[in-house]
Structure 1
Amino acid sequence: MTWVPGAEGSPFGVHNLPYGVFRQSPQGPARIGVRVGDALLDLHGAESAGLVLAGGALQAETLNPFLALGRPQWSAVRTRITELLTDAAHRAATEPLLRDLSDIEMVMPFAVGDYVDFYSSEEHASNVGRIFRPDEPPLLPNWKHLPIGYHGRGGTVVVSGTPVIRPHGQRATPDGPVFGPSTRLDIEAEVGFVVGVPSTLGEPIPTDRFADHVFGVVLVNDWSARDLQAWEYRPLGPFLAKSFATSVSPWVVPLDALADAWLPAPEQDPPVLPYLRDIPHLGLDLRLEVDWNGTVVSRPPFAGMYWTPAQQLAHLTVNGAAVRTGDLFASGTISGPRRDETGSFLELTWGGGEPVALGDGAKRTFLEDGDTVTISATAPGPDGVTVGLGIVRGTIVPGSAPLR
């Protein structure tokens, strides 16, 4: 039981304790905090007062120094924060460090090193194959043998609430390529994994070391310009169609908070190569919801993802590539077998041919300027409670005029 008013029974109770970075004023310094209910505990202040010990890492302006400390320190700090928020003996010292969420601004919680995006939903990959390559098999021959992915741009990963500027680029027309603003702007509802402990160049991370390196989870919207993508993606894959913006939620939910959300992942056939075998073969029971201008249009289920987070990290490093503190790798679009479980509007509207009716009467295929998309998610927690992952939200704004 927590003494924090309103936090008991909240998806953000002491069973969760997601980390974030906030400002108390627009020009104020960034400070690390942890959410409890609808409040935030100022961990900068808590460590300064000697209430929590993390070697000064909680007094930084990003989570990176804390992420680098590793699982023993993560667990020790989590245990201590739980004590502060549940033991009435600590209330007098701790309560002055609580901040109402309505009084603060959440900012980017960690400095992103590298960003890698995977393609791990069989339903999504099959749907995209049918839409983009209707005369070919929906899955390419390699898809069930390795987690397909691409390297994105860490510099364009932004925190929820940051406006998304409509990208410009080339797209194909019957008369040849033209340059201009994307007319088929889309979303991709995903889950991202934040690396804490770095690895050594040349030393792969096996599947059973996933939790030694990954600190926690964020929600991801990997905005995608489908018209740019269709023209550029062969032979090397996505480039300008995805590099303009990727939004993440402001809360990093620790893996410790998701201990009750693991469940058997889908069976993999054919069997994977030895370096990809994860025993037990587990995925996460995360339940997403996609809201388009106030209308819920989809509920993608993460539990059905074909490739697991541990397999993604193992494949990412099997060639000897190192990960660094703050690296982000995302799951790829999450889609289930039903149309109302798809994680992109490309699938939801089947290539733009079947418009979606929103609650205000408008019909949409792809995103128009002024549209707002909000992705939220929950997971099962201990004793039947819910773990909240927060939201990732973005509003589309016009881009700059085409180059001359």
Structure 2
Amino acid sequence: MAISAEPDAAGGGVGQLLRLSGEWTGRHAADLEQLVADAVMRLGGHQVRVDIAGISRVDTVGALLLGRLRREIAAAGGSATLEGGRPEQRILIDAADREPQDTPAPKARRENAGYGLVADIGRGVLSSVTDLKSWVVFLGAVVATLGRVMLRPRSFRFTSFVHHLELVGLRAVPIIALISFLVGAIIAQQSIFQLRAFGATVFVVDLVGILSMRELGVLLTAIMLAGRSGSAFTAEIGSMKMREEIDAIRVMALDAIEVLILPRILALVVGITLLSFLATLASIAGGAFVAVVYGGISLDVFLTRLPTTLTMESFLVGTLKAPFMGMVIGLIATIEGLNVEGSAESLGRRTTASVVKSIFMVIVLDGLFAMFFAAIGY
């Protein structure tokens, strides 16, 4: 590779003829840059014809350097034109030397605020319909897997079920009992404060007992488990999805729903049923504590009146709702985990969505059950 300059005989000796030779490739980039700098220093401001017929090879780096040679000679007040060379070389040099044109950015369209609000609502409705469809499909897959496991009980992952039941149920006992006790105490205190004006303080026993048995125990338990266990299930399965462990399970001819999903959902169903009963007892205990300390109701009166207010119907109403809420929490938590993509941001977003959707659906389900039991007079 070399550059030789001589007076341009074809131009009457006024300009300069620059002959290039050798390989103009990236392997010689440092030397070529120095040659180009020297040529610009000597020939800047002249009329230069650049003969590239002697170049044997040229790549993108060489083409960029030739383009720089032309631009810098022109910037110094001269001009440089390329001559000779093979057609493919000229095409590459012209493409590399072409400067990008600044295209004006399209003007941002100002959207009406009302239109944007309606569009957001529409997207939210479509997203909800899509989520509901995916939940139904996933529920069908889980039910089919459960039926297959019932036909072959030995395939059930009993060890995994017990492990998750311990995490969902046993280790959640302290927080569930404490929260239920405090909420029961708060409800009792507010009820006594209002009933005292009517001289009906003793009816706080009925209010706390029925509310805890039918609504408070199971609802508090479901909300706590949605935030505690549902988020954990989403994070666990999402992390496995990111590390491609679920794909590895499928490669080993194992069913991911049978191995990962079913034990977790069944643990939630059993755990929430037991914990809701415990939460009911803790809530009533909190109400009894406040009734004795703040309401002036003796413990004997509270315990004597309590069995007359609590019926088997109230117990069954609270108990029957618990498995369905556990199923909903488990389905949402696991399907959100399976939808995690390959980034930490996606994992965090899906975990948050799991908690929000689970709590929302638990409250909706509780309202549907309330309307159903009221309709049948139960």
Q: TM-score, normalization: structure 2?
A: 0.21
Q: Which has the higher helix share?
A: 2
Higher RCO by CA contacts (8 Å cutoff, separation 6 or greater): 1
Q: TM-score, normalization: structure 1?
A: 0.20
Q: Which has the higher strand share?
A: 1
Q: Quick check: which has more Rg, 1 or 2?
A: 2
